[in-house]
Amino acid sequence: MAALKKFFSGSPAAARVTPFAVFLGLTVCQGQFGAASAFWFYLAKTVAGAWLLIEVRPYVTEMRWKASVEAVAVGIAVFAAWVGLDPLYQKIFHTGATGNPFDIFDRNAVLAWFFIAVHLIGMTVIVPPIEEIFYRSFIYRYIATKDFLSISPGQFLPVPFFATAIIFGLSHNEWLPGILCGMAYQWLVIRKKRLGDAMTAHAITNLLLGIWIVWRHQWHFW
């Protein structure tokens, strides 16, 4: 633990990249060891992500939740775009999807609902800070300069703005709304000059999407 704290305190980049890298690595493992492994690995990456966020929090000062009218509006708008655009474009991949837990745990409804709850918690509470500190805090500024801490997250930089949005979008199966989503969250950071509003907007989007998935049985989004 002491070595990990030293690692994060000595490397601002590592503090912002490590949670995302671990989360992504476990995502790739989802479904690779049988259908049920998609759910168990989602649980593992949620727990690992929560632990790493606690560990890096002292060293990522911009990772603080903030609420605003703009954050709520962007969160809702991105959700609407994510769902509304879904039938209008070709998807590129579906790595890490868990699908319908009731198809896997049909004899154990309690376990199925447990994994639904885990997924909702993970996508609402854990994913937003992990992705925002990686994309909006690190990638956006690192594209501009390796000395990324010298740049304020609230500074508008055209090339990093569009490049980060494209990278963010292409990391999702839903790449088109993903790109629009990346621009919307980055706009929030620039407008508010802080990361917290983007984290809140991201959480609202994901919570609404999670509710939509369960309510409408749109499991392909997972």
- If the chain, 222 residues long, is cut into consecutive pieces of 10 residues, what is the mean pLDDT of each piece? 86 97 95 91 98 97 97 98 95 70 86 96 98 98 97 95 97 95 98 98 98 94 88
pLDDT at 97: 64
Between CA 175 and CA 216 the distance in angstroms is 21
Backbone angles phi, psi at 150, to 5 degrees: -75, -10
pLDDT at 1: 74
Q: Is the dihedral of CA 58, 62, 205, 86 positive or negative?
A: negative
Query: Residue 7 CB: number of other CB atoms within 10 A?
Result: 15
CA atoms within 13 Å, Cβ hemisphere of 106: 4
pLDDT at 99: 82
In a domain? residue 104: yes
In a domain? residue 184: yes
In a domain? residue 47: no
In a domain? residue 34: no
Range of the domain at 80: 64-221
Going by C-alpha positions, the residue among 71, 25, 80 that lies closest to residue 196 is: 71
pTM of the model: 0.94
In a domain? residue 30: no
In a domain? residue 18: no
In a domain? residue 17: no
pLDDT at 222: 85
Structural domain count of the chain: 1
Beta bridge partners of residue 34, listed in sequence order: 32
In a domain? residue 135: yes
